[in-house]
Structure 1
Amino acid sequence: MSISIAHDHTPSALSKARKTFNSLIGQIGKRRKRPRDWETVTPVFQKQYVDEILPLDKTSAQLQARMVRRLDQAHDQLTQAERRKVALVIVDLAGDLIGGEDDEGQMKIIHDRYSPESYDSQVAAEVDGMKSMIETMFGVDLGDDEDLNSPEDLLQRAQVHLQQAQAQWESENVQRDTRRAKRKKSSRQQAAEARAQEQQAQVNLSLRGVYRKLASALHPDRETDPQERERKTCLMQRVNEAYQKNNLLQLLELQLELEHIDQHALNGLSEERLKHYNTILRGQVRELDQEILHVESAFRDAYGMDPFGPISPDTVLRDLASEIGEFQNNIRTLEQDLAAFEDVRNLKLWLKRCKLVRARPEFEFAPF
């Protein structure tokens, strides 16, 4: 059911509270749709991810490992300048493959053969840098244990420390609030608290008023007809659920559905009542935002996506199709280059075309 307030068919004449009410109803409608869209798109995304992305990722990793070994074998046949370029390619490719599903330690050996710094040293430096940054940003001491062997280990340790710090902060906050509550409050503070409590009481009464009207009309025990009693029982369950969640919009929708109110009644809501309704609706918007954040964070975690990048149920399948296409193109190129590099002359030609950028070559493989 559509909920909105009109005023003499001239929206420009609506009061601020009425405009706010309509705006909040619209915001809630959009936010309600978002989790439902995720429920629809997630199974489709998951199937494509499992059926297409994972096999392509595995094939790509296998081809890159073959390329690393091919370049390693050809290294001694190259000039000194060519060796410098191919070493950078090997280090970059092998570094990404270390610890992968099919890696048995060979990639680290090859990586360290061509890198001025071992892979383990690089990881240790990365962990140390992250550790210093986290300690500085959050004011925690992560300790000097030697079991922090990877960024993942460090992040797990940091999460534990941050949770402990959060618990301590909350405990101290409770104690501080308790001490403040025991202090004698000024007349101004007492008046402000009284106003806030009165306002909250009025908000609760407004919500309870809608609920009571519905409950009175739907109470199944008053119904003698079995079918009608069952219908009212189901409706009453919806009413109770909405009331428990402070879901004013759903209660108003139920009133419209049951014809307990009409557009004229909505248009005639008092300014004071609308202010109370708007307070409740703002809370619903915040709760829906938290629900959406939880759903989308879980989706990002499940598929290794950028935790801060934009994401939408309207675009994830299109983005996935684009990623599949890129995988397929890269795999074709790798296969062609592996075949071409059987002849070291083709490798030399490719290295000649590579451009050094910040002391690194652009090593996008191009088919011959």
Structure 2
Amino acid sequence: MTARRGAAVAIAPHHETASLSKAQKAFNTLVKQIEQRRERLGAWDAVLPVFQKKFVDGLLPLEQASTALRIDMLHRLDDAFLQKGLSKAEQRTLSELIADMARNLLDVSDDAQLKVIYNRHSASGHDSNAAVDRQPMKPDVEPADDLDTLSPDELAERMQAELDEQFKRDMAQHEAREAQRAKRKKSPKQSAAQAKHEAEQAESSKSIREVYRKLASALHPDRESDPREQERKTVLMQRVNHAYAKGNLLQLLELQLEIEQIDRRAINGLGEDRLMRYNGILEDQIRELDQEIQHVETDFRRTYGIAPTVKVAPDTVVRMLTRDIAGMQRSNHDLSIALREFDDPEKVRDWLKDMKRRHASSRFDDDSF
């Protein structure tokens, strides 16, 4: 038996679709949709290590350099603020800018000097704000009147006991609601729908099990005396077991074609009832693949800090990263030039005037809409 890996499962692929039944057309459509999702997952598998290397080697060093340049600019602006020569209005504008810059930098750097600068230019210090954020939530437990007489250990024990009691009450209420829900009688329509769903699930499991048993019977490695053939069947049987464990009907059918246990005529000759059962299983596989794709893409966004509104696809993310690297390079270059100009206090004053003009222009543009 010669294996032909990669055999595609489709009904009469080279014939006019008009001659196919509704179930046959649906089968071919579902197979094609599964292939498209497989290709997308495969593309993600291929591009993720490429993206990670480019991100680590290309973008991360630029982001670190950008942080260092912004910290340098912040120190220079702070030095300019402390020097004489600026009007009160210029000092106020510069102080607000410094506070905003320091606040943003504290999100990416734990430089202690940044906190000093931020506290100098902010109405409320960073440490005090952080302290408020770090205050623990108080449990919804009313203290007893005699708590002042208890030792710290006794107080902790009392509070824990009350929390345990509250937890028990919550669990009891939850169990009572669940028991009440279970007692509610389902309507005849609901009962019929549930019975139909359970019957369909049983038929789906039976269909997958039938294909699996045929494959297992043909590929059982213990029945082979030839070591090379035994090794080949062991590998194939591992693929069969993996597909069966995931309920992957399409992969099992592909394996049947691959080992020539069935041929194209067998696929074309699938009965309507069997096809309808197969189609239901394939629809479930599509939903599972969609969930897997969503998980991969959500995890990708979370790992690299990409907003949900930004569209990501395996064939575009590397180009997107290349564009971000080029933008970061230009930004760092412009920042380096600006830093050299800040050696002159007059340049700082000119920069402030330019910032005020930009702010006024931006506000005018906003008001015009």
Say yes or no: TM over 0.5: yes
Q: 1:80 corresponds to which letter in structure 2?
A: K
Query: Does the 8 A contact of 1:211 with 1:243 survive in 2?
Result: yes
Worse-matched range after superposition: 200-209 or 298-307: 298-307
The aligned residue for residue 326 of structure 1 is 327
CA shift, 1:284, in A, is 1.4
- SS at 1:230 equivalent: helix
CA gap of 1:175–1:220, structure 2 versus 1, over 3 A, is farther
Question: 1:38, 1:56 → 2: CA distance?
Answer: 25
Question: What is the RMSD of the two structures over their aligned residues, measured on CA atoms?
Answer: 3.4
1:82-111 deviation per Cα after TM superposition (whole angstroms, max 9, x unaligned):
33432332122111111544612x222222
Query: Does the 8 A contact of 1:7 with 1:267 survive in 2?
Result: no
CA shift, 1:360, in A, is 8.6
Residue 254 of structure 2 is aligned to residue 253 of structure 1:
yes
The aligned residue for residue 243 of structure 1 is 244
Question: 2:318, 2:79 → 1: CA distance?
Answer: 41
- SS at 1:34 equivalent: helix
Identical-residue share of aligned pairs (%): 47
Question: 2:363, 2:350 → 1: CA distance?
Answer: 14
Query: Does the 8 A contact of 1:301 with 1:307 survive in 2?
Result: no
Question: 1:174, 1:306 → 2: CA distance?
Answer: 42
Worse-matched range after superposition: 111-120 or 196-205: 111-120
Residue 273 of structure 2 is aligned to residue 276 of structure 1:
no
CA shift, 1:122, in A, is 6.0
The number of aligned residues is 324
Structure 1 residues without counterparts, runs of 5 or longer: 132-141, 146-164, 363-368
CA shift, 1:303, in A, is 2.4
The aligned residue for residue 95 of structure 1 is 103
- SS at 1:269 equivalent: coil
The aligned residue for residue 28 of structure 1 is 34
Worse-matched range after superposition: 26-35 or 327-336: 26-35
Worse-matched range after superposition: 265-274 or 296-305: 296-305
Query: Does the 8 A contact of 1:7 with 1:13 survive in 2?
Result: no
1:114-150 deviation per Cα after TM superposition (whole angstroms, max 9, x unaligned):
334444566688x69xx9xxxxxxxxxx9448xxxxx
The aligned residue for residue 68 of structure 1 is 74
Structure 2 residues without counterparts, runs of 5 or longer: 1-6, 140-166, 365-369
Question: 1:93, 1:187 → 2: CA distance?
Answer: 65
CA gap of 1:191–1:174, structure 2 versus 1, over 3 A, is farther
Q: 1:212 corresponds to which letter in structure 2?
A: R
Q: What TM-score does the superposition give when structure 1 sets the normalisation length?
A: 0.76
Question: 1:361, 1:82 → 2: CA distance?
Answer: 19
Q: Which has the larger radius of gyration?
A: 2
Q: 1:27 corresponds to which letter in structure 2?
A: Q
CA gap of 1:122–1:18, structure 2 versus 1, over 3 A, is farther
1:265-302 deviation per Cα after TM superposition (whole angstroms, max 9, x unaligned):
22222221111111111221222222223323333333
- SS at 1:77 equivalent: coil
The aligned residue for residue 58 of structure 1 is 64
The aligned residue for residue 5 of structure 1 is 11
